[in-house]
Amino acid sequence: MSIFFIAEIGINHNGDIDIAKQLIDVAVIAGADAVKFQKRDIDLVYKKDYLASHRESPWGTTQREQKEGLEFGLEEYQEIDRYCKEKKIEWFASAWDINSQKFLRQFDCNYNKVASAMLVYDDLLHEIASERKHTFISTGMTSTDEIDRAVEIFKKADCPYELMHCISTYPMPDEDANLNCIQTLRDRYKCDVGYSGHEVGLAISYAAAALGVSSLERHITLNRAMYGSDQPASVEPAGLMQLIGAVRKIEKAMGDGLLGMTEKEVPVANNLRAHIPWARA
């Protein structure tokens, strides 16, 4: 089964639908299977005093202005839905609250996503699982008990899911990747396991692909120097093309693991062993 590659746009569009479309184009050209966004109801996710606090941004001087500046509404998501259908690429989003999950339902996307930060939000997990769509569940900053509880919710709802190993730092230092957790998650939960990466560079994602992940998610950007907290841990267009191309090569290179001479090796062996009478293949 081919690795399902998710190009995470998240909020790297900076509230600009034209940037979102450019990022969708980047994902299509690079060969991603899907693009992913993030959806929040600002007044449910953040407290009023926090939203009123000071923050300098391109949209104003408060946290509310910054958060609202980054958030897409109905009109933008209708255009995303239309544009992705035109470009023939899947799209979906991670909801950070129940209202946002219900909002996304109108688009009937084929996938759902549980962000690491939301894995402990049981009511939201029940809402997502009730849709019985294949769900990617990121496991960053959570305990084994918390993952156990989330998995149980999806199992009871008979909702297909896979876990995604994730370390929730932005960017993630290479030495923190702990990719061996991919096998640990497989062994414990007997399910497919993907990788959601926030590192700088591509090497760790290559290693995750070689470990046989079922899905691979990386944030993408037009330029890492753009405004936004996710931009430094994102992959630029040329890097995305390189990453997906290499992942597809790694998939082919892993093979079936069976020992023995391949058909293509037979003439080489016959030539190099011609002086050994008993060694002809």
pLDDT at 1: 77
Q: How far apart are CA 167 and CA 179, in angstroms?
A: 10
- What pLDDT digit, counting tens, does each position of 50-76 carry? 999 999 999 999 999 999 999 999 999
Residue 218's domain comprises 4-279
- What pLDDT digit, counting tens, does each position of 135-175 carry? 999 999 999 999 999 999 999 999 999 999 999 999 999 99
* R_g (Cα) of the chain, nearest Å: 22
pLDDT at 280: 61
Look at the chain and report how many structural domains it folds into: 1
* Tokens found for residue 76: 């933008």
Q: Does the pLDDT value for residue 281 go beyond 80?
A: no
Cα dist from 222 to 14, 209, 254, whole Å: 11, 24, 31
pLDDT at 278: 78
Beta carbons of 58 and 227 less than 8 angstroms apart: yes
Q: Does the pLDDT value for residue 115 go beyond 80?
A: yes
**Which residue from 71, 48, 47 is spatially nearest to 59, judged by alpha carbons?**
71
* Coil, helix or strand at residue 77: helix
Report helix angle 74-87 to 17-30, nearest 10.
20
DSSP state of 8: E
Q: How far apart are CA 100 and CA 12, in angstroms?
A: 18
CATH of the domain at 170: 3.20.20.70
* Tokens found for residue 231: 């931009």
Q: How far apart are CA 39 and CA 10, in angstroms?
A: 8
pLDDT, the chain, mean: 97
Q: Looking at residues 192-215, what average pLDDT do you find?
A: 97
Q: How far apart are CA 219 and CA 35, in angstroms?
A: 9
Q: Is 46 exposed, middle or buried (0-12, 13-18, 19+ CB in 10 A)?
A: middle
pLDDT at 233: 93
- What pLDDT digit, counting tens, does each position of 219-272 carry? 999 999 999 999 999 999 999 999 999 999 999 999 999 999 999 999 999 999
Q: For the chain, what percent of residues have pLDDT higher than 90?
A: 96
Q: Looking at residues 9-31, what average pLDDT do you find?
A: 98
Q: Does the pLDDT value for residue 279 go beyond 90?
A: no
